[in-house]
Each structure stands twice: as structure tokens, then as C-alpha cells.
């Protein structure tokens, strides 16, 4: 009897895990619309949180890097595809702005290429749910 219940519990746990995987919150977070601007707030602390942002092509993007640590590692954020190398002062919020014209992925990293994040640029007019 006890064995059957254990099997049932395990089966349930696996089912919930699978459902969560497919229907749970997506890893990439959508930027918030503020008029034409697409704004995202990214906490910098041992990494970038959220690590992945979704934006739409053709509209300006404003990323607010809220750096909650000091030290060398995350003191720069580099968007190599955009030619952006922005200093992020410790315990301050620094804004990075650009307008992605084409859909695609824009990876970014710390100055030492150790911390990584990604901006997913979706085609203009992508259904936002």
C-alpha cells in the first residue's frame, strides 16, 4: 500500500514538473512599454537578472542596469554587436539605450566576458501575450 502511494506521489510530481516546464513562466522577460520606449530593469549582482529580455524591432529600447555590487567583474556591460561598452558605477542605475532595427539576438556580457545576458529582438508587431 505504502509503495503504491509513493509511486503515485512521484508520478504526480513528475507530471507537475512537466506541466511547469511547458506552461510555467518563460525565462525571457518582456520589456515594458512606455509609449514608444521599451523599458527593462536589470539587476546586476553576480549576474544579470532577468538574464533574457524580449523586445520588438524598430522601437527604442532602454535598459536600466541596477548594479547592486562593486568589484571589477560587472563594472562594464558590453554589447559587442552594437559597439556599446558602458561603465556601470557600483550601487547606481545606469541606462543603456539603443534601437534594434533587425530581429535577432543581441548578447551582452561583462567587460571580462564572464557574465552573460541576452536581448531577444522579435520581429515588429509580434503578438505580445
Strands 61-67 and 93-98, by their bridges, are antiparallel
For Cu ion, the binding residues (CB under 5 A) are 73, 110, 112, 114
Q: Which C-beta is closer to Cu ion: that of 35 or that of 71?
A: 71
Q: Which of 50, 38, 14 is nearest to 100 (CA)?
A: 38
Q: Which C-beta is closer to Cu ion: that of 11 or that of 112?
A: 112
Shortest Cβ 65–Cu ion spacing (Å): 14
CA distances from 10 to 15, 16, 23 (A): 9, 10, 20
Shortest Cβ 123–Cu ion spacing (Å): 32
Shortest Cβ 43–Cu ion spacing (Å): 16
Q: Which C-beta is closer to Cu ion: that of 68 or that of 126?
A: 68
Query: Phi-psi category of 85—alpha, beta or left, where left has phi over 0 and alpha has psi -120 to 50?
Result: beta
Q: Which residues contact 29 (CB under 8 A, 6 or more apart)?
A: 40, 50, 52, 53, 54
Shortest Cβ 63–Cu ion spacing (Å): 18
Q: Which C-beta is closer to Cu ion: that of 51 or that of 126?
A: 51
DSSP per-residue string spanning 5-19? HHHHHHHHHHHHHHH
Amino acid at each position: 500500500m505504502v509503495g503504491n502511494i509513493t509511486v503515485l506521489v512521484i508520478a504526480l510530481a513528475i507530471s507537475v514538473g512537466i506541466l511547469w516546464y511547458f506552461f510555467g513562466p518563460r525565462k525571457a522577460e518582456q520589456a515594458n512599454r512606455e509609449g514608444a520606449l521599451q523599458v527593462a530593469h536589470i539587476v546586476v549582482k553576480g549576474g544579470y537578472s532577468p538574464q533574457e529580455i524580449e523586445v520588438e524591432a524598430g522601437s527604442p529600447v532602454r535598459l536600466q542596469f541596477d548594479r547592486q555590487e562593486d568589484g571589477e567583474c560587472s563594472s562594464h556591460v558590453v554589447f559587442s554587436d552594437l559597439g556599446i561598452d558602458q561603465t556601470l558605477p557600483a550601487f547606481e542605475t545606469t541606462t543603456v539605450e539603443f534601437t534594434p532595427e533587425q530581429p535577432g539576438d543581441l548578447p551582452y556580457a561583462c567587460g571580462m566576458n564572464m557574465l552573460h545576458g541576452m536581448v531577444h529582438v522579435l520581429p515588429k508587431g509580434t503578438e505580445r501575450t
